[in-house]
Amino acid sequence: MEVKTFGVIGAGQMGNGIAQVAAMSGLQVIMNDIKDEFVQRGLNNIKKILARNVDKGKMSQEEMDAVLGRIKTSVDLKDMAAADYVVEAATENEPIKFQIFRDLDAICPEHAILATNTSSIPIGRIASQTKRPEKVIGMHFMNPVPVMKLVEVIRGLATSDETFKITWGLAEKFGKTPAEAQDYPGFIANRILMPMINEAVYCLYHGVGTREDIDTVMKLGMNHPMGPLALADLIGLDTCLAIMETLYQGFCDSKYRPCPLLRKYVEAGWLGRKTGRGFYEYS
Ligand code: CAA
């Protein structure tokens, strides 16, 4: 099966990044969200990043126009009837993802593969919402998508070898390096990353250090490109909390309990960069 038309559900920070790398690889892209306002915001972000590449001389204006010309926007899930491959990058919420997969299963052509960019929900649970579990797979991109080289590929129990091979090949076509993880909560990336971020929040909660000192220790002491609290703000504190909940419930292990301070920030609407305030303030 050759993938020509690539659908993306969700035009948020992950969705628009995925749409951008897919269009840059030459695929026709349909980027969908529930409101035109969200889709336009996602498209504007892609334009901003591509324009920066043009300014830096990394891309010509003609190439930028061609990439944008390959991205069609949509606010109707039925548009996915034209897609050979769809990646869902909606909010990290099980009922929402389940509904999207039930709808996509009804709308998409029989040959279409349905992937999810979930950061921690078991693929098998998502696949069981459809009548095509062999064509459901995890394709987990990292934020910011255009920069980060990794794509975690996760097969559910029923995922076929063909679905796996096509997904692996697409990740490579997008200029990424795929790595395979088994279908357990958090897979590899978030099983390791999120407890570290959660522990950094505990350090703040217990007064072990200020936000700056905690981040400086990890940046300069461990050579991380950014500190864990700044990274949490980039990912979104709601997403961090949702992943910790999934690990906690999925393994029934208290070592994954989310820090009460993380929950408090989320309840206050301090979700990180996207709301202008998280562990740091953003203008
Ligand atoms: N979109 C596109 N490009 C971006 C970008 C964005 N949001 N942010 C930065 N860039 C580009 C810049 O334009 C710049 O490009 P050039 O090299 O062409 O000039 C390059 O990235 C480096 O950017 P900066 O010089 O501004 O800043 P930096 O060197 O500090 O890098 C960073 C910024 C790439 C975000 C870096 O700090 C980093 O790698 N941080 C860690 C990110 C990380 O851990 N991501 C994984 C999160 S976990 C996840 O996503 C999975 C999940 O399920 C939660």
Residue 129 Cα to ligand 1 middle (Å): 34
264: confidence class by pLDDT, cuts 50, 70, 90? very high
Q: Report which protein residue has its CA nearest ligand 1's atom 35.
A: 144
Q: Report which protein residue has its CA nearest ligand 1's atom 22.
A: 147
| Average of per-residue pLDDT across 226-253 | 96
Same domain, residue pair 31 and 104? yes
Residue 279 within any structural domain of the chain: no
User: Which H, E and C letters describe the chain, residue by residue?
Assistant: CCCCEEEEECCCHHHHHHHHHHHHCCCEEEEECCCHHHHHHHHHHHHHHHHHHHHCCCCCHHHHHHHHHCEEEECCHHHHHHCCEEEECCCCCHHHHHHHHHHHHHHCCCCCEEEECCCCCCHHHHHCCCCCHHHEEEEEECCCCCCCCEEEEEECCCCCHHHHHHHHHHHHHCCCEEEEECCCCCCCHHHHHHHHHHHHHHHHHCCCCCHHHHHHHHHHHHCCCCCHHHHHHHHCHHHHHHHHHHHHHHHCCHHHCCCHHHHHHHHCCCCEHHHCECCCECC
Catalytic option among 16, 45, 120, 190: 190
Q: Report which protein residue has its CA nearest ligand 1's atom 52.
A: 119
Determine the pLDDT at residue 85: 98
Query: Is the separation of the CB atoms in 1 and 166 below 8 Å?
Result: yes
| Average of per-residue pLDDT across 169-192 | 97
Among 181, 211, 237, identify where a domain stops: 181
Q: How many domains does the chain have?
A: 2
Same domain, residue pair 235 and 129? no
Among 123, 157, 181, identify where a domain stops: 181
The pTM of this model reads 0.94
Catalytic option among 45, 119, 120, 198: 119
143 labelled as ligand-binding? Answer: yes
| CATH number of the structural domain spanning residue 233 | 1.10.1040.10
Distances in Å between the Cα of 244 and the Cα atoms of 92, 120, 233 are 12, 9, 15
Please give all residues whose beta carbon lies within 6 A of any atom in ligand 1, as ranges.
49, 52, 56, 119, 142-144, 146-148, 189-190, 193, 225-226, 231, 235, 239
Residue 92 reports pLDDT greater than 90: no
Instruction: Look up the domain containing 241 and give its range.
Output: 190-274
Q: Report which protein residue has its CA nearest ligand 1's atom 19.
A: 56
Residue 194 within any structural domain of the chain: yes
Same domain, residue pair 134 and 210? no
Same domain, residue pair 195 and 171? no
Determine the pLDDT at residue 283: 87
- pLDDT, the chain, mean: 97
140 CA: nearest ligand 1 atom: 53
Query: Using CA atoms, how far apart are residues 133 and 122, in angstroms rounded to an integer?
Result: 13
Instruction: Establish whether 111 is a catalytic residue.
Output: no
Residue 145 within any structural domain of the chain: yes
Determine the pLDDT at residue 213: 98
Among 131, 151, 181, identify where a domain stops: 181
